[in-house]
Each structure stands twice: as structure tokens, then as C-alpha cells.
Structure 1
Amino acid sequence: MKKERKKKTHSAFGRHKLLLFMIMAATALEISVSLWAIHMVQTQTAQSASVMVQNRMEQVENNFFLLNQHLKQTLVTQGQDMVLSQAQSEDSLARIQARQTLLDSMFYLSGNSGNEYSLFYYFSDSREFLTAVHSRYIAYSQREELENAIIRLLDSGYHPSSVSDQWTLLPAGDTYYAVRLYQYHDVWNGSCIPAEALIKPLLDIYPESISFPVLFTENGTLAAGTENLSRENLPPQKALAGSGPFWYKGKRWLAVDSSVSDTGFQLKLFIKDYGQFEKAVLFQTGVLVVIVVLLSTVILTMSYTQKKILKPLSQFTERLKRYDPDKPVLLEMSSELEELSTASRQFNNLTKEINRLRINAYENELERQKIQMDYMQMQIKPHFFLNSLNLIHSMACHGNCQDVVRLSEVTASYLRYIFQSDVSFVKLSQELDHLRDYLSIMEIRYPEHFRYEIFAEDEALCQAVPPLLLQTFVENSVKYGITSDKKMEISISALIEFTETSAQEEMLTVFITDNGPGYPEDCLRIWNQGKDLERNGSSHIGIANASKRLKLFYHGNAVMKLYNSPLGGAVTELHLPCKEDKNEYTAG
């Protein structure tokens, strides 16, 4: 007999792994090429901008170098030729001739350096400026303020370096000026140019709409380009710290620093909306990825649905029509779909679980009915009713009609609540009214030895609780607390709060306290160990039954604490999940 060959099963995606791998590889290659292109364009753009900035700033540096050399050479030459001393002579003719010679040297320097610089001599003894060459960037109204700023600089102890080409950025009013000074004895030779003029060579590198230059002092103070930063809402601190590509408020910027050596200031060029190319490439790549994902999804979905789902599901459905809880559904089914084979096994297991749950549910219902019946039977106490009737008879014999009427009404209300139809939950307000009837009977029976009080928040009164749950603990307090030499006091309070056992859920908290002897220590020790109190003859029946009812109706979410108060007496603390709709609970 030929042995039947078992057909191998596999996942619905098994035959499409190669296709998926090729699609993912192509997409990864596209993303890699896009990232490489973005990096190259960013690098080339930054290098191009840096080269152009350096070309412009080298021109400024050359002008500085030539002007510094001419200033030093002229100052030394005029000093050695006695022209500087004659320019301060008391002889008017000699002074005029000497000063004209100095002015001629200024015109000569101006022809070599351009008309951007102001050239001057300053005689410290007479505090007098001698100049005939003014920068075309310095207005006439600003000259006096600039001269006063230079005088304040010299009076502060300024000592120029003869070997450094560094210029000083000097504030005068609202404007910064680049100043270079040389001293020969008591005569100063210098030049100055507005800081705004230093950044003008960078304005024609890119259109003004996409770039702007700024200039900072050595200590990071903004000296030129304030209007540009204000227009673009770019803080000076962010501009000073910016280097290379950076983001600010959703905009991409490129900061190009000049590397001019020993000038005494820092110049930067900012290119805004930097990275448009990378946005276009990323958008294109994203569109391609979305298209590839959609195509792959459609192809796989169609193939998977047609070959691996529809046909096996048809077979699965046919066998479900002949469902027998006592037999496996797909015992004879042969399918290549691993998921459906697994579903078959799970369904068979589910059938067994359903049968088991049906048995458990039936047993739980019997247990619930038994617990309810035990509890209801426990509430029927013939001695209690007979004592109440005897008390009513005794009051009637003594003519206490009002007490007879009151006790009769309270007893009837108490019995009506006891014998009500079987319900799982009642409102807390109904349960507290029943406790008032019971405690009122006790108060009538022991007028001089009994007192009680009940307090409940309005929000707590509408919560649902199992009927006759609280009476167990109240009766326990009355049973062990009433004595002939001490007045019995019972307090019941109910409120809504968050408890440590349920930090994310409101709980109904009920406290029942008395001034009796308290719970026995052996009972508390068993309870604190997490064990339930066992029914022992006529002892612990009510508490053991109440614990079972809490587990039955709240599925382990309720908490019952028993302990003794440091001031004396027993304390029962219940934490019940808040549920306003009493029909929301089902036992089982």
C-alpha cells in the first residue's frame, strides 16, 4: 500500500519573499542615492559660498594691509622730516606749510585706498583733528560724534600695536566704525570706515532676497547688519552661534564664516531657504516609496486573497455548517494555508473550552444561588422577630402607643426588605435605610445603652451594593458590643475616594466602627495573612459569607479590611468599585 504523502503547509507570504526583497532593495538603493545627492549638493553649495565670501574678504584684507602699511610709513616719514613737529609750531607760516604737507599725504593715501576710508591726524596736545579726506559713507552730522568717540578711546589708555593689522570696532552713537590708529610721539595717524561699509562687498554675491551679511565684534556684539537680522526675525545670539547648515523656526539656513586673519571682527554671510534641492529630492523619493508600497500591497493582497484565503475559507465554511461540538471541525481538512490550519486547531480547542466554560458557568450559578440562599437564611432570625413582637406586646400592655406604632412600622419595613425579591444589587441609600430600621429597633430595645449615627455623601448614595452586605458587620458589632455597663455606639460612613489599591478608579468606601471589644486577635491574624475566616459552628458565618459575596459580585476588585481602632472597638473598611447602575453587575 502506497504511503500517503503529507502535503507541506507554508505561510501565505512565503512565495512572495523574493518579490518583497527586490522591492525593498530597490527602494533602499533609491533612498541611498537621494541622500548621497543631497549631501553632495549641500557640500558644493557651502564650498561655493565659502569661496565667494573669502574672495570678497581678501579684497578687504588687502586694502587693510596696504592702508596700514601706508599709514605707518607716512607717520614715521613725516615725524623724521620734522613735519609733525612743525605742524604744531607757534610759527603760523611754518605750521600752515607743514599741515599742507600732511594733507597732501592724506590725498595720496586716499587715491590708493579709495574714498571709503576717512583719513586724519590727531594732535593730542591741542586735541585737534586734521583731515581733508572723509569717507563717503560718513555723513557730516556724524563726524563730530565719531571724533569724540576717538578722543574717548585715546583718553582711556589705548595703545596700538605696530606689528598687528587688527582694527578696532568703535561704537559712536548707533553706528560702529572700524578704526586703525598709529602714534608717533604725541601725534596720531589713523583711518576709519563704517562697519556697514565693510559688509557691502558681500551684498552682490547672491540676490538680497536670499542672502545677507552681518558683522560682529570680537566679543560677539552685533556691529553691522542689524536691519537684516530684524527683517528675518533671526536673533543676534542665534546668528553668532550659527555655523554651516542649521534650522531656526522651521527655516533652513546656511551660515558662511569669513576666515580673514587678524582684523578684529567676525563677518558672516547667511543664505536663507537653504536646502530646497534636498526637499525636492526627498519629496520625489517619498512619492516613489509610496507608489512602490501601494503596488506591492495590491499585488500581494490580490494573490493572497485569491489563492490562500477564498478557497480555504470556502472549505472551512462548509465544515462549519456541519458543526458538532463533540467533534473537531477540520479534522479531515487539507489546506496549504498555515494560518487557516492554525485557526482550525484553535477552533477545536475553543470548542473544548466552551464546553468547559458551560460546566463552570453552571457550577458558578449553583454556587451563587447557594451563597445567596445561605445568606438569606442567615438573615431570618426567629429570636430577633419574636423579641420584637414581645417588645411590641409589652409596650401595648403599658399603653406606650407611640412606641408601639413606631416599632411596628420599623419592624415591618425591616421584614419587607429582608423578604424582598432576589436581586443582585440595590442602591446604597436603600441599604442604609434598612440599617436605620435595624438600628432603630435596637435603640428602642436598649434606649439607655445604644446610640448610632449614619453619614453618606450624596454621590455615594446612588452607588450600587449587594443587599444585606453591611448588616453583617453591624449585627456583629451589636452582638459583641452591647453590655449593661457601657453605652454602645455605632458609626457608619460612606464616601467616594481614590484608594491605594486603585489609583486610577473611584471607589465607594464604607467605614463601620463601634466602641465594643473589637475583633479577636486570632481572627485578625488569619485575615492579615490573606486568608478568609472559616465558618466555625455559629462563629464567623456572616463575615465568611460576606467575603465570598464580594468575590462573587466584584470579581476580586473589592477590598475588605478588618482591624481594631487604637481608641478601642472594631473597624470594618470596605472599598467597592463605583457603579451607579445596579444592573451592570452580574454574578458568576
Structure 2
Amino acid sequence: MKNTGRTRSYPVVQMLTKTLYLAIPVVILFVVVSWFSFSEIRKQNNLALKSSVNIYQNELEHKLSAIEHFVQWTVVHDPILDAFDESGHMGDFRDASNELRLRVSDMQYSTGSEYMYFFYWDEKDIFFNASDLKVNYETYKKIKERIKSDVGTNYTWEPCMIGDNAFLYYSITYEHRIFSCVVSMEDILSPLSSINLGEQGSIQALSADGDVFYRTGEGPGGFRGNFYNRLIFPGAEADLPFTLAIDSLALGNYGRLFFLQFIVFLAALMLCFIMGGYVLVSYRKVILPIKIFSKSLSEIDSLKDTEGLVLTDSRVQELNQINDQFKNLIHEITRLRIDVYEAELDNNKFMIHFLQQQIKPHFYLNCLTTIDSMVSLGDMDAAKKMLMFTSRYFRYLFQVNNNFVPLINELAHVEDYLSIQNMRLSRPTQYETDLPKDCNQLSIPPLLLITFVENSVKHATPPEGESLKISIRAKKLLDAEDGAGDILEIVISDNGQGFDPQILNKIKNGEDIVSEDGSHIGITNCIKRLSLLYNNSFELIADNTEEHGARITLRIPVKV
């Protein structure tokens, strides 16, 4: 069989296509989220950097302000420096310088030892350092030259270059005495060294003119410069003598986390594409041949000849090996299915025949005994009637070889049975039927109604002073305009004491109601016959009427 479905679009292909289409908005969404994450991380990093620098500027401003006050008060008001006078001598100068060093040492305890203090008295050309030196001797000589050249000039904090080094310089001159404070920019900016600015991050100190007079590194350049941003911290806003320009990595401490997130996404995306390719290859190499195999199996029932059956192509070796074995299996299953079906059909026919035969002998002996009694008593007219009813009754039994008979024939058989019973028993039985004309030729199983009528005659006890009344009504319940699915409803009722509640419960639950003495075997066999003939597409309802009589409602498919 030639496979014509290989080029059609299967659901797996559609799913792969949808997956690829879905990947596009996912990638776009990731780019948007990544950009938002990048911007947010950059913003947070800048805020953290600004917060750190602001704290640093505030602390530095307090230190510089404290040093200004200390230098001004010392050179103007401190009596220690009064020793530097024309009337003084070297011993007084030495004691005053030592006392000044002690005062400066106390000041350095609160502001830091990196601030260097120098004193110069131009009248006697006395110059000495009032604190420990933090520079080499060559730089010390240049600082000394700068201070001597500034005699008579007052300086606020200002950046300056002394030699090759950048310093902050502050100096006050009062009555030929100069007191100065010098600190290197390296020491000034050292608190900011703990901030992670990135490998190429840098800090630049700018003068009031905007010139760079100190920097901690070369700063970012080239392509990597795109990942750095510059923040400006004006000195005027912080009351500092210099402006800071900081080049820091945009992502700061969160950079690794961001790039790790990006790499994980790329790895997941690559894995998705790899898995998609693997699924596509698996579909073409495995799933498609199996789908062809499944489709071929689904078409087996429609094939009259399975000799030319081809279940799959040659792309999967294992499926090719199944082809011949499966065709042989189909032949064997077909043969066994026919055998089982025929055996089951024979068994059902035997069961139906057996159940019918259980019904036929039920009334034989009693009828013959009654006729014999009538003849013995000389009541020949009654014997003739009894013989006529009995012969018709037996003739119907012996002629019923089919599974279905017309409903009107079955009702005539019930009338013969009741006529026989009325002649046998001392009590008369009243019988009425309601059979529409359109129900006369509808078919029902033979000897079906007689089972329930016989049960009423044997077990029903009418109220005192009344005779037994049996009613049979039939009608067709329409289910569709063309008659397909119509139901025949037959209701058999009497005016006896009704069913026992235990019997009703067993019938409702589908349990066997045959007792030890064999009573109700007819109803049990009737239910079995209906199951065999209608395959459970029937309904049998047993209940009691409001007058406590027994009622059987039977609904079976209409069969003409």
C-alpha cells in the first residue's frame, strides 16, 4: 500500500513551528527585561556610589574646616607662638616648637596623620615641620620653598602641584609668622579606594578651572568604555576646593550577576534550539514511521485483502521486521475472531432455547389433570372448552421457534392462559388490554408477557370480596421523526398485595430473585432472555401501585 500521507503537516511539526514562533517574542521579552535590569542595576549602582561619595565629601569638609579653624586660632591667638619674637633666644624657640608639635599631634588624632603642618618665621628665617613628614626629602625641600615664597599671603584650601605630586595647601600669615597645612591628594582620596570602580575605573580631581590635577588611573577607553559611566561631584556644592569626576563600571558589584544571568539565558536558549533540532530529527526518523504504521493499522478494517498490506517504510528496521509477522497475526486473529463469534452465537441461541424450554413445561400437567377431572365428572361442555383453550395454548408453544413474535399473538396467548385458569380455579380473573393499532405487529420475545401474568395469578391476592384483575397496556414512545430509536412500553399490573420490598430491591439492583423453592424463576429467566436478545438496551421496572398492586413496566426497542 503506497503511503500518501508523508508530505502532510503533522501535529509535531506544527508544535515545533509554534515553538520557534514563540521563541521570537520570548527573545524580545528577554532583551527588554535585560535592558530594564541593566538600567535598574546601573541606577542602583550610581545611587550607592553617590551615597558613598557624599558621605566622604561631608567628612572631608568637616576635617578641612576643623584644620582651618585650628591653623587660624594657633597662628593668631596661641601664646606659644609669642616666643618667636626679636627679644627671644634659641632656647625659647626650641621649647615653643616642641609645644606646637604637641598641639598638632593632638589635632592629628582627630583629623588624621596624613595632614602635615609647617611653621616659618621670616624674621629669623626659622622653618620647621610641626608634624611627622609623609614625603621624601626632595619633596620636603620644595614644600619649604613654596611656604617661604608665600610670606605675607593667605591661602584658603587650594590644589597645587609641588614637584610631581599633587597636594592640598592651606596657609595663614600673621606678624611674620606663617602656619601651613599640606596633604597629598593620594591620601585625601584614599578613603574612596575601597569602592569597586572596575578594572579601568578612575577618580579625577579637578581644579576650579576644570583642569585635572590628579587622577588615580588612566580611565576607561576603547570598546570597554561603553560599560563605564562618569559621575561628577562639584566641589562648590560640598564646600570643597576640588571637583571629583569618577569613572565607574556601570553594573558595579552586580555586573557578574547580570552577565551570569545573560549567559544562563543564552545557554537555555541554545539548549532549546538543540532540543528542538533533536525532536525534529526524532520525528523524521522515528515518530513519522510510527505514525505511518499507526495509520496503516487504522485502515486494516477497511481492507478486504491484507496480502498487499504495507505497515511502514524502510526507515526503521524494527518496524519492517514487524510487517510480515503482523500480517500473519492479522490472519490468525481474523480466523479466531470468526470462530469465537460463531461459538458465542451458538451459545446464545442455546441459552435462549433453553430458557424457552424452561417456560413450556410449566403448565402442561395442570391442564391435562383439569381436563381429566371434567371428563370424569361428566361436564363435557366445560371439557370441550378447556380442551380448545389448552390446544391453542399448546399449539402456540410448539409453534414458537423464532426469537420474536407479533405483540398481538402474544396477547392472544395470554388470553388463552387466563381462560384456562378461570376454568381451573374457583375464583374468576378479570383481564383487560389497551393495545393501539400501531402496536399490533410490533415484535416482542415469545412467552414474555405470560411470565408476569402467571406470576400475578399464582402469587397475587386481591382485596377481600374482589376478584383478581390483570391489566396489560402497550404504547409506542416516539424518539425521532423517522422512527429510529422508538421504544415499546408494556405495563402489566394487578390488584394484589404487590411485590415484597426485598424482591423489588433485588430486581432494582439486578440480583437473582430465585428462592430456594424455585419461585420467581420465570422472572429471572425473562431478565436473562432480555439481556441476551437486546444486549442490555432494555428497561424493566418493578414497583407497586398506589392500591398496593404489583406492576411491571417493560421498555424495549421497537422491532417490526
Please indicate, yes or no, whether the TM-score normalized by the shorter chain is above 0.5.
no
Query: Which has the larger Rg?
Result: 2
TM-score by length of 1: 0.39
TM-score by length of 2: 0.41
Larger relative contact order (Cα-Cα within 8 Å, sequence gap ≥ 6): 1
